Amino acid sequence: MRDQSLARLFGAGRDTDAFLVAWTVPEFAATLLIEDGLAFALVPAFSLALSRRAQGAPGDPVRSLVAGTLPRLALAFTAVGALLALAAPQCVAALAPGLPDPALAVDCTRITATCVLSFGLAGYCSAALRAHRRFLAPAAIYLPYNIGIITAMYALGGAWGVRSAAFGVAAGGCLMVVVQLPSLLGRLRRRRTGRADARAAAAAQPLDVPLLATVLLFALGRQSQVLIERFLASGLPAGAISHLNYAQKVAQIPMTLSTMLCTVTFPAVARALADGDTERARDRVERDLALAGCLVLLGTAAIVACAPQLIELLFQRGAFTARDTAATAGVMRVYALGLLGQTLTGVLVRSYFSAGRASWYPVAAMAAGIVATIWIGAWTVGSRGTTGIAAANAAGITLTAALLLAGMRRRSVPIRTGPVLRELCRPLGAAVVAALAGGPAAGLPSDPLAGLAAGGTTVAVVFVLLGRALGAQGFAPALRSVRTLSRRLAHAVLR
C-alpha cells in the first residue's frame, strides 16, 4: 500500500527518483539496525544472557546486558544521524551523481536521517523481544511505520510534494519504537534480589565489538547492492531508479515471507548453540533451508509467470502509466532470478552469527558478491539498462549464497552440504516447469486480475504436483504452514 500510494501520487519520474535516493537511508537503517546487522549481534547476546539467567547466575544478566549496551548504542545512533544530515549534499552526490534534481534529494535525506536513531532503538527492542520468544510486537512494527508514511503522503503531499513521504518515514520510525515498548518493559521487569542485582548492573557487560563490526559490515555490504543499482541507474533516463525500486519491492515479497521463519528460528539456533547442542542447531538450519527454498521458489515461479499482471494490478493508476508497467515488469522478472540466492543468504548468515562470535567469512563472501555485482552491472548497463542492473544484482547475491553454503561445515553450524543441495534441486526443477506453464496461462485473459488468477493457479498446481512427485522434503512443512496461516486468517475474518 505504501508503494502503491507513492506510485499513484508521484508516479515514476524525477521527484520519485529524488525521494528514492533519500530512501536509501531507511533501507540501510532497516537492514543494519532491525533485520540483519544489529540483530545478528544482539539476539545471540540476549540468548546467552537468558541462558545464564535460567542457570541461576547472580543478579539479572539480561538487565546487565541492557545497561551495558543500550546507552552507548543510542549515543552512536544519534551521532551518525546528525552526521548524515549535515553531509546530505555530499551523500546525494556520491549516491546518484546523474540526478537531475539533487536539491530535492538533499532535503529528503536530511529528513530521513532521523530514522537512524528511531530504527536503531526499534531494532534493539526487536532483538531483545525475539530472544525472549516474543514475536508479535517486532512483527507489527512495519504496520504503524507504513501507516505513518501513507498518512503523511496523502495529508501533506499537495503542499510538500514528495517531501511528505520523507516526513512520513521520520514519523513512522518513532512509531516503530512506541509499539514495542510495552512488551519489552514487561519482559525486562524483574523483581530485584537485593545487592546482587546492584552489583550485576554496575558490572554491565558491553557488546562484543568484533562481533558487532563483522555483522554490520556484512549487512552494509548486502545493502550496498542498492547503492550500486541507484548509482548506475542515475545516468539512465528519468524513471529508471523508480522502475528498479518498484520491481525490487514486489519481487522480494516471496523472499521476505520465506525468511520470516528464520526470524523465528534464529533465537532457537542461538539458544541451542549457547546450550552446546550442535546437533539440534544443525537439524533446525537444514529444515529451514528446505522450507525456505520451497516457499521462495514457488513465489519466484509466480513472479516470472505473472509479472505484467502483478505490476498493472498493483501500480497502474494515477501518475503510473502503462509504459512504467512494462518497464517495471521486465526488470522484476530478472530480479526474480536472484530470489533463491537472497533467501539462502538470509538463512545461512544467521547460522554464522548464531554462536555470538565474530566471523569474517560472511563479510568476505558478501564482498565477492559485491564485486561481481559492480563488474556485471557496469558491463551491462550501457546495453541492457535497468535489466542489466537487475541481472547484476541476481548474479552477485547468488555467488554470495554459494560461498556461504560452501563454508558452512568448517566455519558455522556443520550442515550436510551435499544433501542440502540435492534437496534444493527438486523444488528448483518444479519452479522452472511451473513458470513456463504459468506464463501463457497468465497472458490469456485481458483483465490483469483474471490473468493473475489463471497464471497463479497454474503455477501453484504444477509446482505442488511436480514437487511432491520429485519428493521435495520442504513441501510437507510448507503446506502445513500455508494451511495453518489460512485457518488463522479465516478465523480472524469470520469470527
User: Using one digit for the tens of pLDDT, what is the confidence trace for 350-371?
Assistant: 777 765 566 788 889 999 999 9
Alpha-carbon span 77 to 89, nearest angstrom: 20
Alpha-carbon span 371 to 187, nearest angstrom: 43
The arithmetic mean of pLDDT across residues 71-100, rounded, is: 88
pLDDT at 7 over 60: yes
Alpha-carbon span 137 to 122, nearest angstrom: 10
Q: Which residue has the cell 519481487?
A: 251
Alpha-carbon span 394 to 399, nearest angstrom: 9
Cα of first residue to Cα of last residue in the chain, in angstroms, is 25
- Which run of H or E residues covers position 95? helix 88-95
Instruction: Find the range with the poorest average confidence among 194-198, 438-442, 453-457, 462-466.
Output: 194-198
Which residues lie below 8 Å from residue 279, measured CB to CB, with a gap of 6+? none
**Segment 456-492, tens digit of pLDDT:** 999 999 998 988 887 766 555 555 555 554 554 454 4
Query: Are the CB atoms for 27 and 226 separated by under 8 Å?
Result: yes
pLDDT, position 196: 43
Where is pLDDT greater, at 212 or 173? 173
Per-residue cell: 360: 569474517
In this prediction, residue 274 has a pLDDT band, given cuts at 50, 70 and 90, of low
Alpha-carbon span 38 to 31, nearest angstrom: 9
pLDDT, position 339: 92
Measuring CA to CA, which residue among 48, 82, 81, 68 is closest to residue 209?
A: 68
Residue 369 phi/psi, 5-degree rounding, is -65, -40
Instruction: Find the range with the poorest average confidence among 11-20, 120-129, 196-205.
Output: 196-205
Alpha-carbon span 41 to 20, nearest angstrom: 29
The arithmetic mean of pLDDT across residues 297-301, rounded, is: 93
pLDDT, position 206: 52
Where is pLDDT greater, at 199 or 211? 211
pTM beyond 0.95, yes or no: no
Measuring CA to CA, which residue among 131, 117, 137, 119 is closest to residue 181?
A: 137
Rounded-to-10 torsion of CA 225, 44, 204, 123: 40
242: left (phi over 0), alpha (psi -120 to 50) or beta: alpha
Instruction: Find the range with the poorest average confidence among 160-169, 180-189, 423-432, 483-492.
Output: 483-492
Which residues lie below 8 Å from residue 388, measured CB to CB, with a gap of 6+? 376, 377, 379, 380, 381, 382
> Which span out of 44-58, 108-122, 189-203, 206-220 was modeled with the highest average pLDDT?
108-122
Query: Are the CB atoms for 389 and 229 separated by under 8 Å?
Result: yes
Where is pLDDT greater, at 300 or 270? 300
In this structure, the number of other CB atoms found within 10 A of the CB of residue 284 comes to 21
